[in-house]
Structure 1
Amino acid sequence: MSFQRLAAASVTIAAIVGLGACSSGSQNSGSTGAAPVATTTAAATPVEEFVAASKKLGTETMKMKMVMPGGIEATGSADLANKKLDMTMKMSMGTESLDIAVRLVGETMYMKMGPTGDKWMSLDVSKLPKGNSLNPENLANAEAFAAAAVDVKLDGDNFSGTLDMTKSPTADPESLKALGAKATAVPFTAKRDSEGRLTELVIDMSGMGAGSGKITTTYYDFGTKVDVAAPAASEITPMPEDMLKAFTSQGQTAGA
């Protein structure tokens, strides 16, 4: 299988899942350039409302579902404030499919592919490049992602606008160069519930070339119980070098 494809899917999931991973007590990191979250409802702009809805995801446990181009689906639950994530990913492999289990416990990611009896592979995400989406510094920074939102409009509880991917802390300069002007205007829509939490995010990558399309993420069942534990030591094996290389290559050339 293509480890590069698996790595790309995993870091994309991490970026979207981590959208609200900031703790509610951190209003503005001061380093991302994002608009500060409004402390009152008066004069809040659509961008500020979007940031606020994103950050609320970090205050509660939840379940989520993601559908990506190329026959990739993921479902799971998360306690972002405590860096706990338990997801199952199904990846289309031609006429067959591959089931992949992913757990995040603190700063260690565990991944298992195929039959139940297979071993878990481990990866210390704290050692990944600074620009990698799985790096805890990015996984726990909602404002950094929201900083890429431009031309945001709000109609009731429905957001629409574009993302300037050049403003993302995990953007790869070489990829951005290849995409050209398209990278500065990626359409997105989002929804929030009556509690002000983001419940849906759709990023339309259709204009990015062959094989691209919409990435749809839904967040639901807020307050659900999330129990995620590291596998027993006897069930863990180091990640193969070629797979490790695919994961660590993302973000190596991203700006600080």
Structure 2
Amino acid sequence: MNIRRWSVGVLAAALFVPGVAACASAEDAEPAADGKSAAPAVPADPKEALLASTKEISKGNFAFTMGGGELTGSGKVHAPSKSAEMKMAADGGSDGISMDMHLVFIDTESWVKLEFTGPMADAVPGAKAMKGKYQHVDRTKAQDIEDLKFDLADVDPAGSEALVKSVTEVRKTGEGAYAGTLDATKTTGSDLLDATTVTGLADKASAVPFTAKLDAQGRLVEFAVQLPAFGDSKAQNVTVTYADYGAVTAVQQPPADQVVEASDQVYEMFKS
């Protein structure tokens, strides 16, 4: 699941403007035999505690939200039903184009709903035809478009494990709270800090500040990166949080009367 490609790539392709920045969110507990929440021991070493906190994500049963720059989003992953969804909103400002997107994945099937608003919305190819409709994806046309498929082997929307592995310094700042720096040049596999961002940060990339929060069971519920200003981008926080571990329900298929076959414009947007 690639947050930045969905948000930045699709929006930029549709609007023909520079991309935005991204981020995400989620939390919960496993019952013990006596019906009470089991709270495994959290490693005393801060780095080990953060690494252990990402393990529950790989089970693929959680909700998340995101926020950063002009982008907000939310969604959930339910591996037992091989389903996932993401809703995102990108604010183009008063002079641009804003976008709302809903992606739905159920096993090998996927649907996407795209709506554009703003003074230039009508300039987006196929915008009027897409409005109010879920575009059902033809797998034969999307074989090479990763963002229109769901990979159960890569369920983390932000690649938090990769972010933690790139941590160079970390300290515990309170109960379940941590802070430190990470080397963004070593975040291979994280969508929260993609290659474009890392390149733009230049020499700042090797020491990017972050904060993290764990729940009482030692599971990651928030990871926030404090990106410094670079190029035309202002300093900002990009944050992913996780919630409802083990407690989400299967994603539902869009209503049949709201579904059409995906237009050629949809495939072109996601190819960018």
Tell me if structure 2 keeps the 8 A contact 1:122–1:239. Answer: no
| Comparing 176-185 and 150-159, the one that deviates more | 176-185
Q: Which residue of 1 aligns with 2:132?
A: 117
Q: Count residues with an aligned counterpart.
A: 218
Tell me if structure 2 keeps the 8 A contact 1:56–1:196. Answer: no
Q: Secondary structure of the residue that 1:226 maps to in structure 2? A: coil
Q: Secondary structure of the residue that 1:194 maps to in structure 2? A: coil
Specify whether residues 42 and 6 from structure 1 end up closer, same or farther in structure 2 by C-alpha distance, changes over 3 A only.
closer
User: Aligned AA for 2:262?
Assistant: T
Q: What is the distance in 1 between the residues matched to 2:77 and 2:270? A: 24
User: Aligned AA for 1:103?
Assistant: V
Specify whether residues 126 and 82 from structure 1 end up closer, same or farther in structure 2 by C-alpha distance, changes over 3 A only.
farther
Specify whether residues 99 and 85 from structure 1 end up closer, same or farther in structure 2 by C-alpha distance, changes over 3 A only.
same
Tell me if structure 2 keeps the 8 A contact 1:3–1:243. Answer: no
Q: Does 1:245 align with 2:271?
A: yes
User: Aligned AA for 1:152?
Assistant: V
Tell me if structure 2 keeps the 8 A contact 1:128–1:135. Answer: no
The structure having more radius of gyration, on CA atoms, is 2
Q: Which residue of 2 aligns with 1:24?
A: none
Q: Secondary structure of the residue that 1:47 maps to in structure 2? A: helix
Alpha carbon RMSD of aligned pairs, Å?
A: 3.9
Task: Report the CA distance between 1:91 and its aligned residue.
Answer: 1.5
Q: Which residue of 2 aligns with 1:102?
A: 103
Q: What is the distance in 1 between the residues matched to 2:138 and 2:206? A: 32
Task: Report the CA distance between 1:165 and its aligned residue.
Answer: 1.9
Task: Report the CA distance between 1:242 and its aligned residue.
Answer: 3.5
Gaps of 5+ in 2: 1-6, 13-18, 28-39, 116-129
Tell me if structure 2 keeps the 8 A contact 1:73–1:90. Answer: yes
Tell me if structure 2 keeps the 8 A contact 1:59–1:81. Answer: no
Q: Which residue of 2 aligns with 1:62?
A: 62
Tell me if structure 2 keeps the 8 A contact 1:107–1:126. Answer: no
TM-score (norm 2): 0.62
Structure with the larger RCO, 1 or 2 (CA within 8 Å, 6+ apart)? 2
| Comparing 234-243 and 84-93, the one that deviates more | 234-243
1:78-93 equivalences under 5 Å are 78-79=77-78, 83-93=82-92
Task: Report the CA distance between 1:62 and its aligned residue.
Answer: 2.8
Gaps of 5+ in 1: 21-39, 247-256
CA offset digits 1:168-195 (Å, max 9, x no partner): 2247667644432112222111101111
Q: Which residue of 2 aligns with 1:222?
A: 245
| Comparing 188-197 and 52-61, the one that deviates more | 52-61
Task: Report the CA distance between 1:142 and its aligned residue.
Answer: 5.4
Q: Does 1:235 align with 2:260?
A: yes
Tell me if structure 2 keeps the 8 A contact 1:158–1:192. Answer: yes
Q: What is the distance in 2 between the residues matched to 1:49 and 1:94? A: 40
TM-score (norm 1): 0.65
1:192-231 equivalences under 5 Å are 192-212=214-234, 213-231=236-254
Q: Secondary structure of the residue that 2:54 maps to in structure 1? A: helix
